[in-house]
Amino acid sequence: MGGSVVYMGARREGDTLRWSEAWSRWDANASYRTKVFQRPTTFGLVVRNVTDRIYRADRDTFAQPRQIVGSVGLEF
């Protein structure tokens, strides 16, 4: 299990006097190792933007909403 926090402080956009707001994003992940059909197998889950916060990644772009990605790794 793990997690991370990404923080971007307020910053000036290009040559203008316009400033982008500061934002933070919380991410989480978990994995589980076991054997399936006698083969080492890893199940993983990653959640980006856990709080599903809406924020501007830059002046004209909104960041991605909550994303959930699963994976299965099977060793041969």
Q: What is the mean pLDDT of the chain?
A: 89
Q: Measure CA 50 to chain center.
A: 8
The neighbour count for residue 7, using CB atoms within 10 Å, is 8
Beta bridge partners of 36: 39
Neighbours of 64 (CB within 10 A): 10
Amino acid, single-letter form, for residue 38? Q
Q: 16-71: per-residue pLDDT in tens?
A: 777 778 889 999 999 999 999 999 999 999 999 999 988 887 777 888 899 999 99
User: What is this structure's pTM?
Assistant: 0.76
